[in-house]
Amino acid sequence: MLMVKRLTNNLPCAYILAVALNARVKRRTKSKINLLCPGGYLMKNLMRVFIVTVLAADLFAIVYFSGHFATTGHLLPEHGKAEMNPVLAALAPETAEAGEGAAAKHDDKPVDVDALLVAGDPAIGAKIANKCKACHTFEKGGPNKTGPNLWGVVGSKVAHRDDFSYTASFAKKHEAGETWKPEMIFEFLASPKDYMPGTKMSLSIRKPEERAHIIAYLKTLKD
């Protein structure tokens, strides 16, 4: 009876001791599992490394593409300008020279200006001239903008408007008595800055046919 009473009195202590031993065994077992099992401690560290790597890659991509867009205006590299392999890089200078030669040959191709001017279509020229409306007006009595109003320009004296400030190259031709003949306008439109140094006009009409159409339209702007 005394033995049973002692065991009963010590039961809470025995229970607590058993729980503590059980917890210690579990911690040791879990520690071993963490070291040996792929899903344990090692896996957690690998997951952390992976997450950090992904975030770093995302940050690099954001910085790179933002900088590329800010400097070039393109989010991605332009087609045909990507880095070439060594073989293509070695051939690039020869290819570039050949391309430049072909372009020069194309530019040197003789153009029958008279035939183009005869074939010019005013309706087509009016549509092409829309790209010029940012700097010019075409209607009679229209205001000057960055460039002068172009009503009656064909056949008029160069720098014919008294209410517009022309550059020195225009003034020189004005003093020489030169007039805006269709052939002269044709040459001017091909490369304004080369033909009239100092002009603010930067738009070039490269295609001869388009120049002829614009001139045909300008011829209609008269009383």
Tell me the C-alpha distance between 101 and 165, whole Å: 40
By residue count, the chain amounts to 223
The larger pLDDT score, comparing residue 59 to residue 165, is at 165
Domain(s) labelled CATH 1.10.760.10 in the chain stretch across 113-219
Low-confidence winner among 28-32, 35-39, 81-85 (lowest mean pLDDT): 81-85
Model pLDDT, residue 110: 78
Model pLDDT, residue 68: 61
Nearest Cα to Cα of residue 211 among 188, 186, 194: 186
How large is the greatest C-alpha to C-alpha distance in the chain, in angstroms? 140
* Gyration radius from the chain CA atoms: 41
Nearest Cα to Cα of residue 203 among 141, 214, 116: 214
Q: How confident is the model at residue 55 (pLDDT cuts 50, 70, 90)?
A: confident
Low-confidence winner among 45-59, 63-77, 128-142, 151-165 (lowest mean pLDDT): 63-77
For residues 76-86, give the mean pLDDT: 48
- Any long-range contacts for 191-199 (C-beta under 8 Å, 24+ apart)? 196/167, 196/169, 196/170, 197/169, 198/167, 198/168, 198/169, 199/167, 199/169, 199/170
148 class by beta-carbon count within 10 Å (0-12 exposed, 13-18 middle, 19+ buried): buried
Give the homologous superfamily in CATH for domain 113-219.
Answer: Cytochrome c-like domain (1.10.760.10)
Low-confidence winner among 46-50, 72-76, 134-138, 206-210 (lowest mean pLDDT): 72-76
Model pLDDT, residue 28: 56
Tell me the C-alpha distance between 189 and 150, whole Å: 14
User: Which DSSP category does 16 fall into?
Assistant: H
Model pLDDT, residue 205: 94
Ramachandran angles phi, psi of 179, nearest 5°: -120, 160
The larger pLDDT score, comparing residue 54 to residue 21, is at 54
Tell me the percentage of the chain whose pLDDT exceeds 90: 48
* pLDDT beyond 50 at 24: yes
CA triplet 164, 170, 173: central angle to 5 degrees?
130
